[in-house]
């Protein structure tokens, strides 16, 4: 930042946290380890899908980067900016990684694209220069802080209501943490973050009908790679902007946020990682996770009576109605995996929901549309209130099915999804079962067992250099 202008309080708040806060606590590191494992597993599973893999690799074919960043599950060795895009895109592609729900929603592990790429790259540089590399413990600390920045900003500040996509917060969080990992000072973190806010974020156009498209699956990769770029640019001496947020007329607040500064529920700490939501079993937009659980419970009661269904009532929270309640045609997988009615219909019909159910062939099942036509979505005020309660953070849904003969199923309600903190003891074993399956789609049986065993061994994993972990995850 140039001149004598006072640094915006938000820039200082983020820089103070990044530079000064010391992460402690067994639970948060255990949760971060599970988050790392799950996110990498989601990225490996995405390699089954050509729509994803066609976007991966160097931007210029054949580019070779000495001591470059490795992309898990592939042979690619890339510069850290491009590697961040690759890793971030893989991890987000199937909408199966962890989630944060508040006034703004998002997926804090999207930052792993940038964090993994830069710590791998820097570790190889350090080893070349005879210095100790970053360990996985260092990576987990970076993840915890990135989660906190993204999630903390999201608790009371809604970006979707002004049309901005939540990946703006991925860009900000990645920029802040990567700058610190590069050796940045308090001032340099603030400088880099100011440029991230000035970038603003993409519009949500690609997330909503009739324009829903695959950009929503690579938007996080784009955001986390941009964060790496801005951090590296700052470390080369590029200036920042002290009034990026508060400049009259041209600052972020006046230009985009109705001249209203951000508000915070709590100081930055470790709250977000501790309370993050895991998608344990179903690749479904998180506002629908409990609805899918309800539908699976009802599957045995309707599987032989689906032709006699008169009405399906879905009670849900207000955000679900706003972003994933959809009627009419759905044009592609990106549209289907963000449709509450589609996900519930598949779960009712099959008693399960997988990533393949969003593909074109699966969507041709006419029974899905038949069930969607019978659905009514209503807001449950209690679900909406508990969704925003910091002591509950529930994501409730309830289903009731009425038949033409007048009979009615029991009302099935689930308030806390399987990946919620309140269900950690139930969910974590299943999360590692999910990891084993995801790895098995790409690696040999022996390699899969070896990797799962590694991710279950907390002490061994956290002591491992990041570059050694990436070597283990290289393409088959």
User: What is the per-residue pLDDT for 281?
Assistant: 79
Which residues 6+ apart lie within 8 Å of 132 measured at CB? 126
Whole-angstrom Cα distance, residue 56 to residue 71? 9
**Helix or strand run (H / E) with residue 77:** strand 77-78
C-alpha closest to that of 423 among 398, 397, 388, 394: 394
Q: Model confidence over 227-286: pLDDT tens digits?
A: 999 999 999 999 999 999 999 999 999 999 999 999 999 999 999 999 999 988 788 888
Q: Is the pLDDT of residue 217 over 70?
A: yes
Q: Is the pLDDT of residue 141 over 70?
A: yes
Query: What's the CA angle centered on 429, arms 42 and 347, to 5 degrees?
Result: 60
In order of start, what are the domains of the chain with their CATH numbers?
A: 9-275 (1.10.4100.10), 286-417 (3.30.1330.120)
Residues 64-86 have a mean pLDDT of 96
Whole-angstrom Cα distance, residue 83 to residue 92? 14
| pLDDT confidence band for 1 (50 / 70 / 90) | low
- Report whether 324 contacts 269 (CB < 8 A): no
Distance of alpha carbon 158 from its chain centroid, rounded?
Answer: 17
User: What is the per-residue pLDDT for 475?
Assistant: 77
Neighbour-count burial of 404, counting CB atoms closer than 10 A to its CB (0-12 exposed, 13-18 middle, 19+ buried):
exposed
User: What is the per-residue pLDDT for 286?
Assistant: 87
Whole-angstrom Cα distance, residue 101 to residue 109? 13
User: What is the per-residue pLDDT for 204?
Assistant: 95
Within 10 A of 406 (CB to CB), how many other CB atoms are there? 7
Q: What share of the chain is helix, strand, coil (3-state, %, to 5)?
A: 55, 10, 35
| pLDDT confidence band for 4 (50 / 70 / 90) | low
Residues 69-73 have a mean pLDDT of 98
- Report whether 53 contacts 211 (CB < 8 A): no
Kind of pairing between the strands at 69-70 and 375-379: unpaired
For the chain, the straight-line distance linking the first and the last C-alpha, in angstroms and rounded, comes to 46
Residues in the chain, overall count: 476
Q: Edge-to-edge strand order for the sheet containing 397-403?
A: 375-379, 309-316, 397-403, 412-414
Query: What's the CA angle centered on 226, arms 225 and 229, to 5 degrees?
Result: 90
Whole-angstrom Cα distance, residue 27 to residue 408? 43
User: What is the per-residue pLDDT for 3?
Assistant: 47
| Cis? peptide before 210, omega within 30° of 0 | yes
| pLDDT confidence band for 393 (50 / 70 / 90) | confident
Neighbour-count burial of 81, counting CB atoms closer than 10 A to its CB (0-12 exposed, 13-18 middle, 19+ buried):
buried
């Amino acid at each position: 930042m140039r001149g004598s202008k006072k640094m915006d309080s938000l820039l200082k708040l983020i820089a103070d946290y990044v530079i000064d806060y010391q992460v402690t606590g067994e639970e948060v590191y255990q949760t971060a380890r599970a988050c790392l494992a799950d996110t990498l597993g989601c990225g490996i599973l995405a390699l089954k899908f050509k729509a994803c893999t066609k976007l991966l690799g160097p931007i210029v074919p054949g580019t070779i980067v000495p001591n470059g960043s490795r992309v898990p599950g592939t042979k690619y060795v890339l510069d850290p900016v491009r590697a961040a895009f690759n890793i971030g895109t893989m991890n987000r592609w199937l909408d199966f990684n962890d989630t944060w729900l508040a006034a703004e929603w998002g997926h804090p592990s999207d930052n792993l694209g940038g964090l993994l790429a830069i710590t791998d790259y820097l570790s190889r540089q350090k080893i070349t220069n005879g210095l100790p590399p970053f360990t996985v413990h260092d990576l987990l600390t970076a993840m915890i802080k990135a989660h906190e920045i993204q999630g903390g900003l999201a608790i009371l500040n809604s970006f979707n209501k002004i049309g901005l996509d939540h990946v703006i917060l991925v860009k900000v969080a990645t920029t802040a943490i990567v700058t610190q990992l590069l050796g940045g000072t308090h001032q340099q973190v603030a400088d880099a973050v100011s440029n991230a806010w000035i970038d603003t974020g993409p519009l949500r156009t690609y997330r909503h009908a009739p324009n829903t498209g695959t950009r929503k699956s690579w938007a996080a990769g784009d955001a986390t790679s941009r964060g790496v770029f801005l951090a590296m640019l700052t470390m080369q001496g590029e200036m920042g902007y002290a009034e990026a947020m508060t400049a009259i007329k041209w600052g972020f607040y006046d230009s985009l946020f109705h001249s209203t500064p951000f508000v915070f529920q709590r100081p930055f700490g470790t709250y977000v990682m501790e309370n993050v939501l895991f998608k344990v079993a179903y690749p479904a937009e998180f506002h629908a996770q409990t609805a899918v659980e309800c539908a699976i419970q009802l599957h045995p009661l309707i599987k032989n009576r689906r032709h006699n269904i008169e009405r399906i009532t879905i009670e849900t929270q207000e955000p679900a109605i706003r972003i994933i309640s959809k009627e009419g045609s759905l044009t592609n997988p990106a549209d289907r995996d963000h449709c509450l009615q589609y996900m519930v219909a598949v779960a009712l019909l099959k008693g399960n929901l997988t990533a393949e159910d969003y593909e074109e062939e699966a969507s041709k099942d006419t029974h899905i549309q038949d069930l969607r036509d019978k659905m009514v979505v209503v807001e449950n005020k209690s679900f909406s209130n508990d969704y925003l309660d910091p002591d509950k953070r529930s994501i409730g849904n309830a289903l009731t099915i009425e038949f033409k003969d007048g009979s009615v199923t029991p009302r099935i309600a689930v308030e806390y999804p399987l990946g919620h903190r309140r269900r950690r003891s139930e969910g974590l074993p299943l999360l590692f079962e999910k990891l084993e399956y995801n790895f098995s789609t790409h690696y040999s049986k022996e390699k899969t067992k070896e990797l799962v065993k590694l991710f279950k061994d907390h002490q061994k994993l956290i002591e491992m250099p990041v570059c050694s972990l990436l070597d283990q995850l290289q393409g088959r």
